[in-house]
Structure 1
Amino acid sequence: MKYRELEVEGFLKNFIHSFWEYETGDEAVEHTIIPDGYFDLIAEFECDTLQRIKLTGVWAKPVHVVVCASTTLFAIRFKLLAAEYLFQREMKSILNSTQHLPLDFWNINGYTRGDFDTFAQDTVSRLEHCLKHLREIDSRKLRLFELAYSNPGLGVEQLAAGVYWSSRQINRYLNNQFGFPLKTFLNIVRCNAAYTGIANGDLAPDDSFFDQAHFIKEIKKHTGATPGELAENENVRFLQLATRA
């Protein structure tokens, strides 16, 4: 397989983690996608032809996927704030699932499998233009996700205090918009932050986990595997681990 990412700059970083491109060879590939606290827009090209565009919900559990041979994926990994302000929709209805979008969504049908860089540049321009015409963004939500992604060790009450928004109100917002409470989101983000170390053989928890037992329990809860099994990553089962090693 081939994989690469492109990061974004400026205010758009509040909405997008990265653009990513993935390409298989002559054989189909099986992966387990593990929760990371983001959602994705994925365009699938098979033999140079755009076949489908999918919007994933947020994964709160591991999911098994098969990518066909000779397939190229163009994708955007979105932070949760993008659901309301870029897609202007809730994501609760597609939690742990996907929704197909029309092939002309964001004019993606105008690209070929060799146009990833152009796709990323054009999409950045499109979304920056959209942001200029948005109604005012709720500063509490902006700060909520900024803190959550940049400080994965924060607890519910710490985050609520930093945002000046009650945990009860935050939970109502996240449950209505995404289908899970703040604690679940923070646990997913904390585990996601640990995957880079695990991919490189570091099986010791950082300060965001109480101890080794808590570390193992949380990682297994969200991935279905122990940190040791993730580190082995036999047959590149866990795609996110393979891209961080």
Structure 2
Amino acid sequence: MNLLHGYRPIQPPGLQRELQQPGYSYREYAPSGKLAPFVACYWTLDFHSSHGHVPHRIIPDGCVDIIVNRRSVCSAKAAFITGLMTRYEVMNLSREESLFGVRLYTETADRILKCPVSAFLGHHVFLEEIWGAAGLSMAEALVTAKAVSDMITIMESQLKQLLSLADLSTGSLIQAGMKSMYFYKGNMTGALLAEKLGYSERHVRRVFAQELGVSPKEMLGIVRFQSMLQELHSGTNSSLTEAAVNYGYYDQSHFIKSFKRYYGLLPKQLASMERMQRTGVRID
């Protein structure tokens, strides 16, 4: 089963460098080679309340996250799993925060979490409920770890152990479907996806709903939007407008609607921030 792909989700702090400021830090770390097909990245978010109030924007990326609150006073409630997001969210940071996360690719997350991704849609599930005593023990180790490298080592050890027990010899319709979405960068119809998979659209919709909790159309929208942002971030396109056209957003109203839903900003607002980064001129 070939799990390798070029899809690399991006979050606002990676796209908007001006968000990084004293007292607020978001960082991403690459997984080891063996885990790269399953883990998009490890990440940390730290905030010191002495620096006031900071909004932390989170956008849909087609992934599932394991999150550890390292300031939690209770290890049993320190680590939890979040399901797929279909709209942006903003965390208004006003108190001390120290989070460690693992971003899992949706199509193989069930191999690690031992249950369908749909089980986590719309709410948090504590890691102890999924992995039992092993989940609680790992949460305790992550909360007390001294360095990010230690946290990654602890998490990678657990993930490798779980994957060693999983059956990776065969794929699934979800894996094949997401592979097609990544290949087309989300710029395809549900009908074409069903054709590539060799099933009816109705069957594909039913499987996506059961396994992921979202429709193929929703996932296509997220992958397409993320792929466009990745290309913008890489500097391949000279402007947001050019990137939008390349990804099939020919209708301006549709593009604006998608942007507001997934990012929570108007395209021109991000374009202004992008110019500010390049020129060093602040736009208020």
The yes-or-no answer on 1:207 pairing with 2:238 is no
Mapping 1:14-33, distance limit 5 Å? 14-25=37-48, 26-27=50-51, 28-33=53-58
Shift of 1:139: 4.6
Shift of 1:175: 0.5
The 8 Å contact of residues 57 and 98 in structure 1, kept in 2 or not, is answered as yes
- Letter of the 1:167 partner, please give it: E
1:152-202 deviation digits (Å, cap 9, x = unpaired): 223323333444444332211110122211011110111122234566783
1:89-115 deviation digits (Å, cap 9, x = unpaired): 233343233233349536121133533
1:103-155 deviation digits (Å, cap 9, x = unpaired): 95361211335332122133223222322221344254333223323532233
Shift of 1:87: 0.7
1:190-244 deviation digits (Å, cap 9, x = unpaired): 11222345667832114222415132232223333321224456xxxxxxxxxxx
The percent of aligned pairs where both chains have the same amino acid is 22
2:138 is matched with 107
Q: Of Structure 1 and Structure 2, which has the larger fraction of its residues in helix? A: 2
1:236 is matched with none
2:276 is matched with none
The yes-or-no answer on 1:188 pairing with 2:222 is yes
Shift of 1:58: 0.6
Which SS does the other structure have where 1:30 is aligned?
strand
The 8 Å contact of residues 260 and 266 in structure 2, kept in 1 or not, is answered as yes
Which SS does the other structure have where 1:58 is aligned?
coil
**How far, CA to CA, are the matches of 2:178 and 2:215 in structure 1?**
14
Higher-Rg structure is 2
Mapping 1:55-134, distance limit 5 Å? 55-102=81-128, 104-105=135-136, 107-111=138-142, 112=144, 114-134=146-166
Shift of 1:18: 0.8
The 8 Å contact of residues 41 and 77 in structure 1, kept in 2 or not, is answered as yes
- Letter of the 1:171 partner, please give it: R
Which SS does the other structure have where 1:14 is aligned?
coil
2:176 is matched with 143
The 8 Å contact of residues 118 and 213 in structure 2, kept in 1 or not, is answered as yes
- Letter of the 1:145 partner, please give it: M
1:237 is matched with none
**How far, CA to CA, are the matches of 2:111 and 2:32 in structure 1?**
18
The worse-fitting range, judged by mean Cα deviation, of 13-22 and 84-93 is 84-93
Aligned pairs, number: 234
**How far, CA to CA, are the matches of 1:143 and 1:6 in structure 2?**
27
Match of 1:45 among 65, 70, 90: 70
1:48-107 deviation digits (Å, cap 9, x = unpaired): 996722211111112232345332211001111233211122333432332333495361
Alpha-carbon RMSD across the aligned residues, in angstroms, is: 3.1
